[in-house]
């Protein structure tokens, strides 16, 4: 029971990270119907920006809460620039092209980002000293002590706050309305006087910022990153997006939590070597039996 509880806590934390990345996939898929293959690498760039920022702030004597907020903001701003540029360079010229072209271009962009970071920052893994330490311990009398660290609380809290802001943004503001309109019919939206290009750019900026927050959390939680983390995290987050129903934003968060839980329970109870297989198997099973996910709309094939 205690062990189960611990896995549950770890899984929810990991799931928050996946959920934040998954939102980027689902938004882009909803609005322009493509799998943004480079999104995982955007997350990786976010983690690197956060790492650099943490190292720089460690030299100063700013209080920890302010450092955290600053790092989050810095990572969001710089990573958003990456998302915006990738869209402008690699996807916008291909918007009217045939279906596989953006996917190939995204694949190329993913290779570029990975190797660019490798060239600029070196191929070795980077280790960050723990930023937030300590936590609550439960069941101290039993033989398995359940730990809920402050870091985990922080991660879940930040995710909840961001999700609330983000939901408000989508449901209540003009930008969110424009986005939802673009999802339904881009030509019609343009006729209504909405700048479709700008709306798509904003989608990428928001998606990348959320991914960068996931990057900040990842580097804090694991303390170890390299240029390759984006690939696996990207696939898992994509799985999360599909599981929740691609195109659906609450679905992405739900899917993220589920994938986090599946992965943690799999490595906790079955086999840690094959933990990535768990995510891949889930992806395959979901796509075969369940292609619309939990909250997705069924896809009607038109002739």
Partner 1 sequence: MGKELIQKSLKDSLFTGIIALALFGPIVGLRTVAKNEVLIVEPKWLVVLLIVIFCAVGRFFINLYTFKKEQRRGEPSSLGKAISNFLDEKGAQIAIGAIVFSIIFPFMPFADRYWMDIAIMMMTYIMLGWGLNIVIGLAGLLDLGYVAFYAVGAYSYALFAIHFGWSFWICLPLAGLFAGMFGILLGFPVLRLRGDYLAIVTLAFGEMIRILLLNWYELTKGPDGLTGIPRPSFFGLPFKRYPDEGVETFHTFFGMEYDPMQRIIFLYYLILILALVTNAFTIKIRRLPVGRAWEALREDEIACKSLGVNPRNTKLTAFAVGAMFGGFAGSFFATRQAFISPESFTFIESAIIVAIVVLGGMGSQTGVVLSTIFLIGLIEVFRDFESYRMVAFGGAMVLIMIFRPRGILAKRKPTITMGKQG
Interface residue list for partner 1 (CB under 8 A):
34-35, 45, 48-49, 51-53, 55-56, 77-78, 81-82, 84-85, 89-90, 93-94, 96-105, 107-124, 126-129, 231, 235, 238, 242, 273-274, 276-277, 280-281, 283-284, 287-288, 291, 299, 301, 303
Q: Report the residue number, 12 or 71, with the smaller CB distance to partner 1.
A: 71
Which of 176/234 has CB closer to partner 1? 234
Residue where the block lists tokens 């311990």: 137
Closest separation in Å from C-beta 231 to partner 1: 7
Nearer to partner 1, 176 or 293 (CB): 293
- 91 or 221: whose CB is closer to partner 1? 91
* Least distance CB 177 / partner 1 (angstroms): 27
Residue 192 beta carbon to partner 1: minimum distance, rounded to whole angstroms: 25
Integer Cα distance of 275 and 296 in angstroms:
26
Give the number of other CB atoms < 10 A from CB of residue 103: 14
Q: H/E element holding 290?
A: none
Give me the least distance between CB of 120 and partner 1, in Å please. Answer: 5
Least Å from the CB of residue 114 to partner 1: 8
CA atoms of 211 and 15, how far apart (whole Å): 13
- Do 42 and 212 form a contact (C-beta atoms < 8 A)? yes
Of the pair 157, 277, the CB lying nearest partner 1 is at 277
C-beta contacts of 26-29 below 8 A and 24+ residues apart: 26/241, 26/244, 26/246, 26/247, 26/248, 26/249, 26/251, 26/252, 27/179, 27/203, 27/206, 27/207, 27/249, 28/203, 28/204, 28/207, 29/241, 29/246, 29/247
CB-wise, 139 or 231, nearer to partner 1? Answer: 231
Minimal distance, residue 26 CB to partner 1, in Å? 14
Query: What is the rounded CA–CA span in Å between residue 45 and residue 155?
Result: 19
């Amino acid at each position: 029971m205690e062990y189960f509880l611990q896995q549950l806590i770890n899984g929810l934390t990991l799931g928050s990270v996946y959920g934040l990345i998954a939102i980027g996939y689902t938004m882009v898929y909803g609005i322009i119907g493509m799998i943004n293959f480079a999104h995982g690498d955007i997350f990786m760039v976010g983690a690197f920006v956060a790492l650099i920022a943490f190292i720089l702030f460690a030299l100063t004597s700013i209080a920890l809460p302010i450092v955290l907020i600053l790092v989050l903001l810095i990572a969001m701003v710089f990573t958003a620039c990456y998302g915006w540029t990738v869209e402008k360079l690699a996807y916008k010229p291909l918007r009217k092209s045939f279906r596989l072209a953006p996917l190939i271009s995204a694949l190329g962009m993913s290779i570029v980002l990975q190797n660019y970071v490798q060239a600029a920052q070196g191929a070795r893994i980077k280790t960050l000293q723990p930023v937030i330490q300590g936590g609550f311990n439960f069941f101290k009398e039993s033989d398995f002590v359940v730990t809920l660290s402050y870091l985990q609380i922080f991660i879940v809290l930040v995710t909840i706050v961001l999700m609330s802001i983000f939901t408000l943004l989508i449901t209540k503001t003009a930008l969110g309305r424009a986005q939802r309109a673009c999802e339904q019919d881009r030509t019609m939206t343009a006729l209504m006087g909405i700048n479709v290009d700008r709306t798509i750019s904003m989608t990428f900026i928001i998606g990348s910022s959320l991914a960068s927050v996931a990057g900040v959390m990842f580097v804090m939680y694991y303390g170890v990153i390299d240029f390759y983390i984006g690939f696996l995290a990207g696939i898992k987050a994509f799985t999360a997006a599909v599981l929740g129903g691609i195109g659906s934003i609450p679905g992405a968060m739900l899917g993220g939590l589920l994938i986090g839980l599946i992965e943690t329970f799999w490595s906790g109870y079955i086999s840690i070597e094959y933990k990535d297989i768990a995510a891949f198997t889930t992806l395959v099973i979901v796509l075969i039996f369940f292609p619309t996910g939990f909250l997705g709309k069924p896809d009607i094939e038109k002739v």
